[in-house]
Amino acid sequence: MNVIVVGGGKVGRKLVEDFNYEGDDVVLIDIKSKICDRIQDDYDVRCVCGSGTDLEALREAEANKADIFIAVTENDEFNALCTVMAKKLGADRCVARVRNREYFKQLDFMRNALGINLIVNPEYATACEISRILRFPAAIKTETFAKGRIELIEFNISSDNALCGKAIFEIYKKFKIKLLICAVQRGNEVYIPNGDFVIESGDKLHITASHRDVAKFMHEIGVINTKVKTAIIIGGGRISFYLAKQLLESGIRVKIIEHNMNRCKELTEHLPKADIVCADGTDKHVLAQEGIDRVDSLVALTGIDEENMIISMYSQSRFVDKIVTKVNRLSFAELMENTGVYSIVTPKNITANIIIGYARAMKSAKDTEMRTLYRIVNNKAEAMEFRVTRESELTSKSLSQIKMKRNVLIAAILRNNKIILPDGESKLEVGDTVVIVTTHHITTLGDILA
């Protein structure tokens, strides 16, 4: 696939890395020669040093041959103009990063009138991710498939956990709950486990089930999943605004601590139901005064990774039940994730995953349609949602008769609004929604075949 990325910042660099890894032909356009040089040194891609609104630069990048054209600079108007020009030159699909919430309200108009196929708001997407995490606080991460009907939950196994030392077939036999353990992270290794796999202390489990069955399972293994009723958000940026709005709508009491007076006034105007405090959220005396010892959850969303990490560690020392930390640098993200205590969100990864998922769906064959893609286990595995649109080899046999690649698991099937956790006798049918977990890069259901 021919891919053009405009803007070599955090998100742009991540997209270049991911598309390059997937074997696509990538061209980066950036006006700064230093950025072009660095990216060209690190990746096997072509760079055009120029503006994404310069016709000569677009022609040099061969925008007319682009299967997907992606503009992810810091400037919304620039991104929109880039994509319009690329579309006129003949680019097939266009994606723009749009952060301004006023523009974000006009999504339908921008898609229809400007021909932008996908509009991504990184801050809104990150807020949605955090909101999902707070909805099920016992989990480190929560992803959803089939319009929320199927959940993929990640959680840690402590030494006193009821699952510790048990084989997966024993777990299914004992608890008799409709769920599937679809991936296990043990140290730096990732396993798509079979029934004989034994769970150990320190493992990170990924399970699929309905929300109700996940909650029931957590209760039975002694994992407390107390509903979040109060949240303190440190930092009053765009993510905080979108998150506070979502939490307030779900009945959670929200307090935002922001040091900038003008920003506090804006938040007070737009979020009248939230408690806005103008103070330094990195000051432990401020946190104590604002009730950190009584709050259910804390979300660290300042613009500085180190501050977010320190706030989170202090919150842990004050026994806050649920802590979510925004981290931009991957080395910091891995450090925090390895503690098994914090839920980490990285906006550039969330944004890149949305765009990569969209691009992967473009490659899908006619017999299947990819709808959702999540990277899990520190990007070492993927969970994907497909819709079966026509008869194929996969619909003609039971799963036990189909020879699949290693490290591939059909984690769930949604049929007529009913969740099926498949076994060897299950068969896929046209119209099914299917969730696949694998360590392979696949674009169609047919790719799971050996």
pLDDT digits (tens, 9 = 90+) for 12-29: 999 999 999 888 999 999
**Per-domain residue ranges for the chain?**
2-120, 141-220, 227-320, 365-448
Q: Return phi, psi of residue 307, to 5°.
A: -65, -45
pLDDT digits over 286-309, tens only?
999 999 999 999 999 999 999 999
- Residue 374 sits at the vertex; the CA angle it makes with 399 and 196, to the nearest 5 degrees, is 45
The C-alpha R_g of the chain, in whole angstroms, comes to 23
Q: What is the mean pLDDT of residues 278-285?
A: 95
Band the pLDDT of 340: cuts 50, 70, 90: low
In this structure, the dihedral spanned by the alpha carbons of residues 43, 47, 51 and 53, taken in order and rounded to 10 degrees, is -100
- How far apart, in whole angstroms, are the C-alpha atoms of residue 130 and residue 373? 17
By the 10 Å C-beta count (0-12 exposed, 13-18 middle, 19+ buried), 92 is classed as middle
Spell out the SS3 assignment of the chain. CEEEEECCCHHHHHHHHHHHHCCCEEEEEECCHHHHHHHHHHCCCEEEECCCCCHHHHHHCCHHHCCEEEECCCCHHHHHHHHHHHHHHCCCEEEEECCCHHHHCCHHHHHHHHCCCEEECHHHHHHHHHHHHHHCCCCCEEEEECCCCEEEEEEECCCCCCCCCCEHHHHHHHHCCCCEEEEEEECCEEECCCCCCECCCCCEEEEEECHHHHHHHHHHCCCCCCCCCEEEEECCCHHHHHHHHHHHHCCCEEEEEECCHHHHHHHHHHCCCCEEEECCCCCHHHHHHCCCCCCCEEEECCCCHHHHHHHHHHHHHCCCCEEEEECCCHHHHHHHHCCCCCEEECHHHHHHHHHHHHHHHHHCCCCEEEEEEEEECCCCEEEEEEEECCCCHHHHCEHHHCCECCCEEEEEEEECCEEECCCCCCECCCCCEEEEEECCCCCCHHHHEC
Q: Which residues, 6 or more positions from 339, have their beta carbon under 8 angstroms from its beta carbon?
A: none
- How far apart, in whole angstroms, are the C-alpha atoms of residue 143 and residue 333? 18
- How far apart, in whole angstroms, are the C-alpha atoms of residue 316 and residue 330? 21
pLDDT digits over 166-212, tens only?
999 999 989 888 889 999 999 888 999 988 999 999 899 999 988 88
CATH 3.30.360.10 applies to domain 365-448: no
- How far apart, in whole angstroms, are the C-alpha atoms of residue 180 and residue 436? 12
Same fold across 141-220 and 365-448: yes
pLDDT at position 371: 80
- How far apart, in whole angstroms, are the C-alpha atoms of residue 230 and residue 156? 23
Domain 227-320, CATH? 3.40.50.720
Type of residue numbered 166 = K
pLDDT digits over 212-269, tens only?
898 888 888 888 778 899 999 999 999 999 999 999 999 999 999 999 999 999 999 9
Percent of the chain residues past pLDDT 70, beyond the cut:
98
Band the pLDDT of 338: cuts 50, 70, 90: low
CATH number assigned to the domain with residue range 2-120, chosen from the 4 options 3.10.100.10, 3.40.50.720, 3.30.1360.70, 3.40.190.10: 3.40.50.720
* pTM, 2 dp: 0.87
**How many other C-beta atoms lie within 10 A of the C-beta of residue 366?**
9
Nearest to 79 by CA among 128, 9, 32: 9
CB 207 within 8 A of CB 217: yes
pLDDT at position 178: 86
Nearest to 190 by CA among 333, 379, 332: 379
Domain 141-220, CATH? 3.30.70.1450
pLDDT digits over 114-173, tens only?
889 999 999 999 999 999 999 888 888 888 888 788 889 998 888 888 899 999 999 998
By the 10 Å C-beta count (0-12 exposed, 13-18 middle, 19+ buried), 346 is classed as buried
